[in-house]
Amino acid sequence: MKSLLKIKPKKYKLWSLLIQLIILALAGIIIIKLGYLQIIRSPGLKKQGIENRSSERNFSFRGEIYDRNGIRLAGDATIYDIYAHPRYYVKDKGTKVIASVLSRHLKQPERVLRDKLGKYEYSTISVAKNVNVETVEKLIKPEILEKGIRGLDFVKRNKRIYPQGNLASHILGYINFEANLAAGVERTGHTSLVSLPKVKPVEYDGKGNVIYDFYTDPEKITSPLKGSRLVLTIDSAIQLTAETELAKMVKKTDADRGTVIVLNPGNGEILGFAVYPNYDPNKYNVFNPSVIKNWSLSDVYPPGSTFKILTVASALGTGAITKDEKLDDTGKIEVQGWEIKNHDYNQNPDPGIISLEELFRRSSNVGSLKIALKMSPYDHYRMLNLFGIGMKTGIDLPGESPGILPGIEKWDKITQGSIGYGYSIATTPVQMASAVAAIANKGVWITPHVIKSDEDEDRIEKIKILSEENCEVITELLAESIKKSDSPAGKIEKYSVAGKSGTSRKPNPGGSGYLPEVYASFIGYFPAEDPKVLIMVVIDNPGVKNAWGSTVAGPVFNAVATEVGRTLNL
């Protein structure tokens, strides 16, 4: 008590004041800190809090591919690879239990699974790949786990599936996620197919549960993100018809391969693009690369008599001839030491004076050669360039060849003359289809394409190359030649067809000259009065006698054209 009494009141007040000042200072610091955090740092802390609660969705699906009518041609599925980690299960007993359970669900022999799981020296063992979701769900059920399944790892990944099998395989292509390889529209449409929509990040609480608000869509946050869908110009019904008829003829004639292209000449859209042999893109890795390659884009061939359409069109366009042109067809002619004959010279050695319609109907080589030589080399070359000969069409598929058109400096008389009837050059079937489509489209060349898009899109080019009047003349000549021909090629019920057959010999790859093997082709468009469809057929090396464009490719054209007319209700 005495010691307490010795503390002077004045000194006590000083200590009290000091303690109060310290408390006020600490409170002030706290208030300043809170103000700093609540006001100045508030936006940044809110953002950081959202980031801490949010999770980016790193599992996504590649965009789906559809035909023009909404039929699904390609999409992604979730699959799992199963791995085992021996350090998590007991030797022998654990191996036996796991192998017993897995064998029933994975359809693998229990003995094989025991051997796999018994490699205890490895930290990770590959047990199974490409396991579907349903199987994995069975394996992670509580009643299965209670049996002592331990040490299994289920790794989720994507698998590209093509539900229509072989249909349009060369158009769709394939995608190899591991090697980053692709073909077909899987390659040319890649940017769109992997373009993911912008979505609000999903927020989770401390226990990992989704934090829902008024705008949260449960379906969207639980489903994988998908890339943009790709819609093709292909009509699956037309595609199936083209593939079916092509396969029948290739097998019937024992040919090497073939193609059928169905094109809308008015907008460049490809409605069907059959290539044989085809393949199943679900199992692309088991097929020979030569089968997977779209040869109708990458390989070239001499178009033969189908090219006479472009020869006459070029001559009309340059004013070298008129629609009433008459030619003296002598059956054979010699140019610079080369003798050129008509295909039927032995039966009709001297046809005499012929019209342009007769030139098409008789498929006169001599007449076509003479028309080619009526043009100056410069005008002839310029017109072929306008038709796209010797350059890529720009089709939205990979691997296109520009074809072969000799430079004008290499043109002599025999070169120009033989180009007139489809030799001394080489084209692709797509190139020929787009060139003749320009005539069907009143003289406007349009980039052929398989990916649906607005017509005004930059990649779709339109070039006026021929007058509408000249196109009408050529169409009338071709239609009349089909009607008057003894061949049934191009004659289909209900429609008038403007078309031309062609048979060309294969160049000798080992040197000059030609092989006995041929390309049989037919190209035509209809209705001739108002063309809506163009069909190009090429059969490579039919192994039968009397294999002509009219007898081999013509029947395919007729069959496909008839079904296309029904499908489109022309």
Ramachandran angles phi, psi of 429, nearest 5°: -55, -40
Neighbours of 114 (CB within 10 A): 17
The closest of 166, 185, 399, 160 to 287, measured between CA atoms, is 166
* Integer Cα distance of 30 and 392 in angstroms: 74
List, for residues 221-254, the tens digit of each pLDDT value. Answer: 556 677 888 999 999 999 999 999 999 999 999 9
Q: What is the share, in percent, of the chain residues with pLDDT greater than 70?
A: 87
Mapped onto helix, strand or coil, the DSSP state of residue 348 is: coil
Please tell me the pTM assigned to this model. Answer: 0.83
Contacts of 532 (CB under 8 A, 6+ apart): 264, 265, 266, 526, 568, 570
List, for residues 379-406, the tens digit of each pLDDT value. Answer: 999 999 999 999 999 999 999 999 999 9
CATH code that applies to domain 236-568: 3.40.710.10
Give residue 209's identity as a one-letter amino acid code: N
**pLDDT surpassing 50 at residue 1:** no
The closest of 336, 311, 315, 304 to 414, measured between CA atoms, is 336
* Integer Cα distance of 168 and 235 in angstroms: 10
According to the model, what pLDDT value does residue 275 have? 97
Model confidence band, residue 427 (pLDDT cutoffs 50, 70, 90): very high
Q: What is the mean pLDDT of residues 534-546?
A: 94
According to the model, what pLDDT value does residue 153 have? 81
- List the chain domain ranges: 59-76+160-232, 86-150, 236-568
Model confidence band, residue 129 (pLDDT cutoffs 50, 70, 90): confident
* Integer Cα distance of 8 and 12 in angstroms: 6
CATH code that applies to domain 59-76+160-232: 3.90.1310.10
According to the model, what pLDDT value does residue 527 have? 96
List, for residues 147-196, the tens digit of each pLDDT value. Answer: 666 777 888 888 899 999 999 999 999 988 777 778 899 999 988 888 87
- Domain pair 59-76+160-232 / 236-568, same fold: no
* Integer Cα distance of 527 and 371 in angstroms: 27
